[in-house]
């Protein structure tokens, strides 16, 4: 079965459904698929945070995961 045939079959089946809850569930699935398939748009605040992070990286302001875990352990003991 081709993609086009499958789409038409699904459309035909959906058009026969009368159960509003079931249709809402299908809509949720379709909305979720659309959201994950598209390009993620960052907010201005998120863009600023990314810029700050890149600047810190360029300036060598980094910490290894091991050192970070040590700092976390110390912080949690206080």
Please give the pLDDT value at position 53: 93
Question: Which two structure tokens, joined as six digits, stand for 21?
Answer: 């809850």
The model's pLDDT over 30-75, given as tens digits with 9 standing for 90+, comes to: 888 765 656 678 899 999 999 999 999 999 999 999 999 999 999 9
Q: What is 1-34 written as a DSSP string?
A: --HHHHHHHHHHHHHH---HHHHHHHHHHHHHHH
More confident residue, 15 or 32: 15
> Where is average pLDDT lowest: 2-6, 9-13, 27-31, 53-57?
27-31
Q: pLDDT-derived band of residue 2, with 50, 70 and 90 as boundaries?
A: very high
């Amino acid at each position: 079965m081709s993609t086009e045939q499958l789409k038409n079959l699904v459309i035909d089946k959906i058009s026969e459904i009368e159960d509003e809850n079931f249709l809402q569930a299908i809509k949720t699935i379709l909305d979720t698929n659309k959201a994950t398939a598209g390009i993620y748009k960052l907010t201005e605040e998120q863009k600023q945070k990314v810029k700050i992070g890149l600047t810190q990286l360029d300036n060598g302001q980094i910490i290894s995961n091991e050192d970070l875990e040590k700092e976390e352990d110390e912080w949690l003991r206080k």
